[in-house]
Chains A and B, each alone.
Chain A
Amino acid sequence: MTFRQFAYRNVVRNRRVYAAFFLASVFSVMVFFLYSMLMFHPGIGERFITGITVIGMTSADIILYVFTLFFLFYSMRAFMQARADEFALLLQIGMERRQLGRLLFFEMLLLGAASIGSGIIAGFAFSKYFFMIVKEVLDLPELPLYLSWQPFALTAGAFLSLFLLIGVMSSWIVRIRDIHDFRKGIGAAADPFDYSATKAAAGLFLLIASYAAAPLAGRVNVLYLAVLLPPAATLGTYYFFSHTVLWVLDLLRKRKSIYWRHARLVSFAETAVKIKDNANMFFIVAIVSTVAFLSVGTLASLASYTAQYRALNPLGLVYLSQPGNPDEQTHIASLERELKQRGLSYEEVPLTVVREHSSFSGQPLNVLRESEVNRLARVLGREGVRLRPGEAAFLPYSPDAASRLEGAEIDTVLEQSGVKVAVRGTMNDLLFPAYALGTNSIVLSETDFIKAASAQADRLYTFYAFDVPNWEETVGIGLGLSARMSQAALHNGEEALPFFFENPGSDYAVIRSTFHLLLLTGLLVAAVFLLAAGSFIYFKLYTMLDRDRRQAAVLRRLGFTDREFVKIVNRQLVPQFFLPWGLAMLHSTFAFLSLQAIWKEITDLSIVKEMALVLIAFTVIQLLYFYLIRWRYLAHVKGSV
């Protein structure tokens, strides 16, 4: 048997221990590969929303890489602890430290090669489905599978470097560290109830303070909070696992009437041991899960932006013609023609707009005509407005603006025409998107409007509002106009164009697919995080399995029934699974609360539903994972007593 064969057999025969480690690595490689496949897709420059897609995929790849590095490093250390006895034996029978280091290096390389191979194969096998999903998400006509060396090279290169790095580190650690340190490391954590009461209290205080401060976030203090809260919550989390939990358990322990009951003696103390031993890991898992929940939650909330897009954009197409626009009729005719070609039914409402200045605010003001606005309202199926001469009403640009302007009473003079108006309240419903007419528009009664319009008869704007019931199908209509708009935006500013054109259906398609793509990316990354977090726990359990098994045998002899034993296992597994995760839930809930506060300022959107959905989905996954691992753990511990 050569040295390399020995390393190989070590891995193959320890496969049960390596399994969780291996699976998480394979999954990570696979997801990395899928992203790379998309990154290098030949069609990417043509049809994709290139920028965001590439940035999203690249950052997801980088996050995956860094995270996998940490995961492997941590697992490697735990694994070395678990095998300390084996190392001690090898050293005792005369293996040199250098050789032991080489053994570990080989093992890591083998594992790396296997993970990379399986990950890439799995990734390639799934890439067809992945592309199908992406195609749906991006609304692309087709996204063909392609074969190129680049994604393969990137994935293999990235992960090979990663495993090499870990291999070198592990062989280095085993050379410099005293094996007996490792041996002591497992489960023999000195006193499980060795904690600092000050730090325990500090942890509790930091967490409660952060939670209390989170919902207070507003536009003003958001910066302070963004700087202060995450570090405070992170430190609080750290103290929570390394001190606060033990403190609480110790308080319970001192009450014999609670502690000396049933299996509690064993299960509480065992929980303390496991938490003490794994405090660092729980801390990492809690923080990583928080980040995962948050990123997916944020993306989900962005995706919900598209769902409410229609509410903010009630019109199918929008064309605003400035005074002296020579192409007005040609443009409108071509839009009508394109709509007819697509077989889309539509209704077209031209509205005359007068640009005025308000003496009240000194701001520019758009003035519209009662009869025309009412016609548009009727077409959109909304409520119209009834004005007496001298009266006016605001046109809200968002639901929030509508409620704010409700009951407003402003008396003002239109400076250009000298018309006096009393603005009384607002129209109830949204008729125009904010970008079309700006944020300051009012409706005038017929007589007042005619006065205002005649004052500057040569400077009238015409606003063409198209109502298209199947507004999502307008993608591509007015492409020429959109192109001129973006050209102008790039060169000399949109002001220079004699018109303004907007196709909300097209915009919607772009926004929707971008967010969905980011969401998909975030979900996959979060899935890798979750799997890795579960693997950490499984792995740690496995490293303590021998000790737990011996203990189970003793308990059995002392007369613990199977039920009591399962209870003990539950009591020590549940905190391991649900404490980091529960804390992550709390963290992200409060973070969402502050996000909600900020969000409200920005877009008038509520994200409670999305947040709840994301958290519920993660809960279900976590529960499944808990039962899976409990089942395996029980089988192992009870197995060979």
Chain B
Amino acid sequence: MFCSPKAPKKGMNLLPIVRIEDIIKIYEGKVTHRALDRLSFEVTDGEFLAVMGPSGSGKTTLLNLISGIDKPTSGRILVAGTDPSELKPDEAARFRRQELGFIFQDFNLLRMLTVEENIVLPLTLDQVPVKEMDARMRAAAKRLGLSDILHKRPDEISGGQEQRTAIARALIHRPSLVLADEPTGNLDSHAAREVLDLMTAINRENGTTLVMVTHDPIAASYCDRVLFIKDGAYYNEIHRDDRRRTFFQRILNMLSLLGGNVDDLSSVRLP
């Protein structure tokens, strides 16, 4: 196991790892735009949360605020006991590379680095001994089925393999929280399922907290809880039940209620 074993899922302590309180984010410009409007929610340690909402509902803004890339206009954010918006730029950078992991829609691997180099990248910044980096990288690669392609470059592997590499990169430094922005958006259904299964397994087995922003109700149905936002404000949330099929149906129903133009919904609404 390459991630520090945290408390197992069942005895999960319900401490919030992320706490969002009344945040408002306004973009000033030619047209003033209110991206987030008094949004509040919490993410407990070990949870796998999906955030859903129509295009332009503020999902990506939310991730930027949690990761300290952007600052809220008002309100308070606490991530693993720190308010990222109060950190100085360098501290925020250090905070990101120690506490957070990122998974992106277009993988965002560095094209000129090999798979193994991409995976160890976050560790190289923090003076981890080479031996340990190597060991952790190998464990992660084994877990994610990347052992055979460690010396290939992103251009030489498939999209699914790229995303698994990105997941390994997001986990290698044992972050408190992994943020995923449409991780399956660029994958075919087979690779998407593979990636979602892996994310679920990591969440279950290692107790890694995951927050995933997505359009895709199938992806959302893998989570413990789905939070819906609309026009930057809290809309509703639903919890997972025993059967994924019914959970999926409830997500679809909620999306219908939510309206808006979630483009990829039209194809799934009618079975």
- Report the minimum CB–CB distance from A557 to chain B (whole Å): 5
The reply on A558 being an interface residue by CB < 8 A is yes
The reply on B76 being an interface residue by CB < 8 A is no
Binds A, one of B105-113, B196-204, B251-259: B105-113
Q: Is B102 within 8 A of A558, CB to CB?
A: yes
The reply on A562 being an interface residue by CB < 8 A is yes
The reply on B262 being an interface residue by CB < 8 A is no
Q: Which residues from chain A contact B102 at a C-beta distance below 8 Å?
A: 557-558
Q: Which residues from chain A contact B134 at a C-beta distance below 8 Å?
A: 256
Candidate in B97, B124, B127 with the most chain A CB atoms within 10 angstroms: B124
Query: Can you list 11 A-B contacts with CB-CB less than 8 angstroms, sorted by A residue number?
Result: A260-B120, A261-B127, A269-B110, A269-B113, A554-B110, A558-B169, A559-B93, A559-B95, A559-B97, A559-B122, A564-B93
The reply on B231 being an interface residue by CB < 8 A is no
Q: Is B120 within 8 A of A188, CB to CB?
A: no
10 A-B pairs with least C-beta separation: A559-B97, A559-B96, A561-B93, A269-B112, A561-B90, A554-B108, A273-B112, A256-B130, A559-B93, A260-B124
A447 to B122, CA, bound (A): 96
Q: Which residues from chain B contact A560 at a C-beta distance below 8 Å?
A: 93, 97, 125
Q: Which residues from chain A contact B93 at a C-beta distance below 8 Å?
A: 556, 559-562, 564
Give the number of chain A interface residues (Cβ < 8 Å).
30
Q: Which residues of B contact A (CB under 8 A)?
A: 67, 69, 89-90, 93-98, 100, 102, 104, 108, 110-113, 117, 120-125, 127, 130, 133-134, 153, 155, 169
- Report the minimum CB–CB distance from B121 to chain A (whole Å): 6
A564 to B89, CA, bound (A): 12
Q: Is A265 within 8 A of B113, CB to CB?
A: yes
A265 to B130, CA, bound (A): 13
A562 to B110, CA, bound (A): 18
Closest B residue by C-beta to A565: B93
Asked, given contacts A265-B120, A266-B121, whether A563 binds B112 with beta carbons under 8 Å apart, the answer is no
Q: Which residues from chain A contact B117 at a C-beta distance below 8 Å?
A: 265, 269
The reply on A257 being an interface residue by CB < 8 A is yes
The reply on A350 being an interface residue by CB < 8 A is no
Q: Which residues from chain A contact B110 at a C-beta distance below 8 Å?
A: 266, 269, 551, 554
The reply on A491 being an interface residue by CB < 8 A is no
Q: Is A262 within 8 A of B153, CB to CB?
A: no
Closest B residue by C-beta to A559: B97
Q: Which residues from chain B contact A575 at a C-beta distance below 8 Å?
A: none
- Report the minimum CB–CB distance from A85 to chain B (whole Å): 16
Q: Beyond the given A266-B110, A266-B121, A559-B125, could you list 9 further A-B residue pairs with CB under 8 A, ordered by the A residue number? A: A256-B133, A256-B134, A263-B124, A269-B112, A557-B108, A558-B97, A560-B97, A561-B94, A562-B89
Q: Is B89 within 8 A of A561, CB to CB?
A: yes
A316 to B4, CA, bound (A): 93
A638 to B248, CA, bound (A): 41
Q: Which residues from chain A contact B104 at a C-beta distance below 8 Å?
A: 554
Q: Is B112 within 8 A of A192, CB to CB?
A: yes
- Report the minimum CB–CB distance from B40 to chain A (whole Å): 25
A562 to B93, CA, bound (A): 8
Candidate in B102, B112, B127 with the most chain A CB atoms within 10 angstroms: B112
Q: Is B122 within 8 A of A265, CB to CB?
A: no
Instruction: Tell me the residues in window 513-570 of chain A with beta carbons closer than 8 Å to chain B beta carbons.
Output: 550-551, 554, 556-564
Asked, given contacts A192-B112, A256-B130, whether A557 binds B69 with beta carbons under 8 Å apart, the answer is yes
A560 to B102, CA, bound (A): 13
Q: Which residues from chain A contact B112 at a C-beta distance below 8 Å?
A: 192, 269-270, 272-273
Candidate in A266, A551, A561 with the most chain B CB atoms within 10 angstroms: A561
- Report the minimum CB–CB distance from B179 to chain A (whole Å): 9
Q: Is A558 within 8 A of B111, CB to CB?
A: no
A556 to B92, CA, bound (A): 10
Asked, given contacts A269-B117, A558-B102, A559-B95, whether A564 binds B111 with beta carbons under 8 Å apart, the answer is no
Q: Which residues from chain B contact A559 at a C-beta distance below 8 Å?
A: 93-98, 100, 122, 125
Closest B residue by C-beta to A276: B112
A558 to B89, CA, bound (A): 13
Closest A residue by C-beta to B128: A260
- Report the minimum CB–CB distance from B171 to chain A (whole Å): 13
Closest B residue by C-beta to A547: B111
Q: Which residues from chain A contact B94 at a C-beta distance below 8 Å?
A: 559, 561
Candidate in B90, B94, B98, B121 with the most chain A CB atoms within 10 angstroms: B121
- Report the minimum CB–CB distance from A364 to chain B (whole Å): 75
- Point out the residue from A188, A262, A266 that lies within 8 Å of B113, measured CB to CB: A266
- Report the minimum CB–CB distance from B100 to chain A (whole Å): 8
- Report the minimum CB–CB distance from B45 to chain A (whole Å): 21
Q: Which residues from chain A contact B133 at a C-beta distance below 8 Å?
A: 256, 260
Closest B residue by C-beta to A270: B112
A191 to B153, CA, bound (A): 8
The reply on A418 being an interface residue by CB < 8 A is no
- Report the minimum CB–CB distance from B178 to chain A (whole Å): 12
Candidate in A554, A558, A559 with the most chain B CB atoms within 10 angstroms: A559
Q: Which residues from chain B contact A390 at a C-beta distance below 8 Å?
A: none
- Report the minimum CB–CB distance from B170 to chain A (whole Å): 9
- Report the minimum CB–CB distance from A264 to chain B (whole Å): 7
